[in-house]
A and B are shown apart, each in its own frame.
Chain A
Amino acid sequence: MTAMPSTRPAPPAPAPERTIMLVLIFLVTSGILLVSHNGPLLDTLGPLGTFLKNPIVEALMVSLFLANVLFAHLWRAAPWAKALVGLGSLLIVLPLAGREDTSLLDLSIQIMIFAALALGLNIVVGLAGLLDLGYVAFFAVGAYTWGIFASPRFGEVLKYYGSHPGATNAGTLAIGLFLVVVTAASMLYINRLTARTAPTPTTTWSFRLASFGLIAGLVLAVRAIAVLMSGQAGALANGINPGFFWLFLALSIMAAAIVGVLIGLPVLRLKGDYLAIITLGLGEVIRVLANNLSLYTAGSQGITPIKSASVPWFDKLAGALGFSDDQFYLLFLYFLVLIVIAVILTVNVRLDRSRIGRAWIAIRDDEVAAQAMGVPLVQTKLIAFATGASFAGVMGMIFAAKQTFISPESFNLFQSIGVLSMVILGGMGSFPGVILGAAVVTLLNLRILPGLGEATANLGIPQQVNPGQLQRLIFGIILVAMMLLRPEGLLPNRRRTLELHHDENQEDDSGHGSGGALTAGPVEVLSPGLAPAAEGERSGGTK
């Protein structure tokens, strides 16, 4: 992720090269990280060892180490040094330190999962400007897609259908599949028809009818398959073969994207606040369903154990490198997540510069104007929704495999807001910023706050204000403070900075009245010549 070229133009006064400093810091922090996570070595160090074992010190060490990657991205240094620091940290030092302390691997995977979620939400909120407060629903879809099939749940479901077959047989399956094919074909046909001519009430209604038919057909077909497979319930008592992991990786992308489109279709005609509240509601609906459809999701107890993929050659390799058996799956997931993040980042960068990316930004900036210029609103928004959702779907599945346990509580509104605060903290619309935001918030949540909580446990601070319990307060402060002080985020996207400081540029023109009411309206440019001049001045680059 460090090799990504910066999208910003070079600053006017080039800072001195920091190659040596970068490499030096990398070596020092890596050394400390490796030492501080090596339990036996620490025991021999005496007081220094106990100091390094302190949860706060440990959290700081991890943060400093991760900051390397950020420095490699930000600082002007020789490309080889950047590559060395980036790749060396992520591919060598982190896994090696993780070998001694599995929780470090776990933490890194968690950070990257959230980074991917934040990148997905960044597309929806940061690029397309659609505030989605139910984003974690797609994460849940991915997690449950794998969780149901790769756990004993699947056997239970089949057993249930075996004892409640209804009137289902191969015939029903045929009818279901026929219905699916016919309705899907007719939907495609209607779509093609309306692409050329304006939609009439007939086409609209027949499209809706066909979509109902499609859903009915799918339900029939899936039910029939479940009944027909129910004989295998015993054989599948522990879930499907983990070798299907790769197939399900594709399936969970599709499932999340489809749910994204299904949720998006009815609600994307809404804007701003309405969209926010309705996505919040739909996110809750998915959680309530996960809580109540206990046949499939085991209700609030959650599904466990969920299998992870087994990749024999990778396990052998890991074994040869000195990893123990129970670390194989974590190490595998670590590298998988690393690859997925790289793919997602590439997709993001590509999308951002593509036609569709520009359409998203146009919609975010001014929906009406974008529509007037021929951007198809619903379609463009749907693509944003589905893309964001598919990232969440993949990560949901990996999350399920990593935790080996999922329950509806992992997917509540608070998680959605957490991901949103990552996007905002880092800087909406800026990819490195969003990743930074994810790292900071996850570290804060999983290491620094609990560490502070542990460290202050003996200081007589009352349990109620234990930092480990103040997550909401801290998220809230992050959200409010960022919006008030630095709405563009830590690593801002250039365009957005201009946009958010638009009115500051015009301060001289408007003149503040004492009542406030005079300037309280939307800022309008009265003299057409002034605005471009003010913006042009800014683009000379102060930041």
Chain B
Amino acid sequence: MDLATLLPFLVNVIVGGLVLGAVYAIIALGYTMVYGVLQLINFAHSEVFVTGAVVGFEVFRVLRDVALDGYVKLLIALLAAMIVSGALNVVIERLAYRPLRNAPKLVPLITAIGVSLILQDVLRVIEGFQGRFDLTYTLPTAFTTKFCAAASSCAGLGNALRTVGIDLQLKDVILLIVAGLSLAVLNYLVNHTRLGTAIRAVAQDRVTSGLMGIDANRMISATFAIGGALGGISGVLFGMKFGTVNAYSGFDPGIIAFTAAVLGGIGSIPGAVLGGLTLGVIQNLIGVTNVLGSVLGSANLGAIDASYQRIGAFIVLVLILIFKPTGLLGKSNVEKV
């Protein structure tokens, strides 16, 4: 590959990274919401979002031969995933985290790991009974076509993207739109409604907000419901993006999304989005380092290939935590004795 074709290639890699990053961002929001309220890393969130992905798969599978518009199917899948994941998250909170709210911090963290392990096997068993382990998404065919296949069908934005050389599938565009919409809704919910105000109050000070007449337990449940619903959305998006899901596939995106949350400043909603997008781009760039290596003639760069992608997130995590532990948009938290 020479330099002339490198530029459009890189643009595509970065745009692809942004699409991937949008998925991470929505997962990261689930971590950040819970962390903001309880200061707990909800390790089980990765399984909550895999549950969403599984529900989405089942909806697409059941509706495969039903004569419905692809977008309606997607909407049903998203709604079902939101409901199931949200409910699951609330149940987890009620059974596993609420009894431990006053325990030392290590205790709920270990419980979260345990819940995550339990959910992995439960998902595997449930899907195993149907004889399925690796679920392969079959999306409506329209979704997997190029966003702008022929010059004649392109207009406006599509045409503009085409001239720059950006090559997207329709599902990527849908994914970006869904992610953007859920962000907008979440932003409205948190910043402009009574519920959001109450949640923010609880996040700031549980005791004082209790004195002001806010039922902290209900607000925490609500947060878990919202976080779970976001997990459901991200699960369906993840399934659309990668095509296959299994009971254990929550680990990688889960840890990357957590990194994204930390990168942006955990507890900060815009931070999680910024972190997700950044990590998506970084990950895609690491995946093509060997291409860059071949262009620049560097054997060392060439040796780094896609198998190192997951290391990238961890190295970013280490660097961030060393140099700016509060994250890009986080506020520093002074320790009181």
Contact = CB atoms under 8 A, between A and B. Distances in A.
A515 B207 CA distance: 10
Nearest to A485: B99
B241 interface: no
A288 interface: yes
B310 interface: yes
Interface stretch (B228-236, B287-295, B313-321): B313-321
Contacts of B128: 462-464
Given A277-B258, A473-B121, A369 B337 contact: yes
Interface of A: 125, 129, 131, 133, 266-267, 269-270, 272-274, 276-278, 280-282, 284-285, 288-289, 291-292, 368-369, 372, 413, 417, 420, 424, 462-465, 470-473, 475-480, 483-484, 487, 499-500, 503, 513, 515-523
Interface string B95-129: 01001111111111111011111111110110011
Nearest to A424: B110
Interface stretch (B150-158, B159-167, B210-218): B210-218
A270 B320 CA distance: 11
Interface size band for B: 35 or more
Contacts of A270: 321, 325
B261 to A, nearest CB: 10
B206 A273 contact: no
Given A133-B113, A369-B337, A480-B115, 4 more contacts: A281-B313, A516-B215, A517-B215, A517-B216
B38 to A, nearest CB: 10
Contact of B207 (A267, A291, A503, A521): A521
Contact of A520 (B39, B101, B107, B313): B101
Contact of B318 (A276, A278, A413, A516): A278
Contacts of B315: 285
Interface string B326-337: 000000000101
Nearest to A266: B322
A520 B307 contact: no
Q: Which of B40, B211, B321 has the most CB of A within 10 A?
A: B321
Nearest to B337: A368
Contact of A517 (B117, B210, B337): B210
Nearest to B122: A473
B7 interface: no
B71 interface: no
A426 B109 CA distance: 18
A458 to B, nearest CB: 19
A191 to B, nearest CB: 20
30 contacts: A270-B325, A273-B40, A273-B105, A273-B109, A274-B321, A276-B41, A277-B317, A278-B314, A278-B317, A284-B255, A284-B314, A369-B337, A420-B110, A420-B113, A463-B128, A464-B124, A465-B125, A470-B125, A472-B120, A472-B121, A473-B122, A473-B125, A483-B107, A487-B103, A487-B107, A500-B107, A517-B206, A517-B214, A520-B216, A520-B217
Contact of A503 (B96, B102, B314, B317): B102
Nearest to A367: B335
Q: Which of A125, A369, A477, A479 has the most CB of B within 10 A?
A: A479
Given A267-B318, A479-B110, A521-B207, A516 B217 contact: yes
Nearest to B114: A479
A484 B100 contact: yes
B40 A473 contact: no
Closest 6 CB pairs of A and B: A517-B210, A479-B114, A476-B117, A464-B128, A476-B118, A281-B314
Q: Which of A125, A280, A289 has the most CB of B within 10 A?
A: A280
Nearest to A293: B303
A288 B124 CA distance: 25
Contacts of B96: 480, 484
Contact of A285 (B110, B207, B314): B314
B12 interface: no
Interface string B185-213: 00000000000000000000011011100
B317 A520 contact: no
A115 B114 CA distance: 21
A281 B104 contact: no
B181 interface: no
Chain B facing A: main interface SS? helix
Chain A facing B: main interface SS? helix
A463 B108 CA distance: 33
A476 B115 contact: yes
A519 B217 CA distance: 11
Given A277-B41, A277-B255, A292 B307 contact: yes
Contacts of B177: none
A64 to B, nearest CB: 28
Contacts of A280: 255
B311 interface: yes
B207 A517 contact: yes
Contacts of A289: 311
Contacts of B262: 274, 277
Contact of A278 (B113, B211, B321): B321
Contacts of B114: 475-480, 483
Contacts of B118: 472-473, 476-477, 480
A470 B111 contact: no
A451 B277 CA distance: 48
A272 to B, nearest CB: 5
Given A480-B111, A523-B102, A517 B258 contact: no
Nearest to B39: A273
Interface in B137-177: none
A288 B125 contact: no
B217 A517 contact: yes
A470 B126 CA distance: 13
A270 B317 CA distance: 12
Q: Which of B96, B100, B111, B209 has the most CB of A within 10 A?
A: B111
Contacts of B217: 515-517, 520
B99 A484 contact: yes
Contacts of A131: 106, 109-110
B251 interface: yes
A430 B113 CA distance: 22
A14 to B, nearest CB: 33
A284 B111 contact: no
A480 B97 CA distance: 10
Contact of A291 (B121, B307, B325): B307
B266 to A, nearest CB: 9
A517 B321 CA distance: 32
A475 B110 contact: no
Contacts of A281: 255, 259, 313-314, 317-318
A273 B311 CA distance: 19
Interface string B253-265: 0010011001000
A437 to B, nearest CB: 13
A488 to B, nearest CB: 11
B111 A479 contact: yes
Nearest to B118: A476
A288 B103 contact: no
A428 B100 CA distance: 17
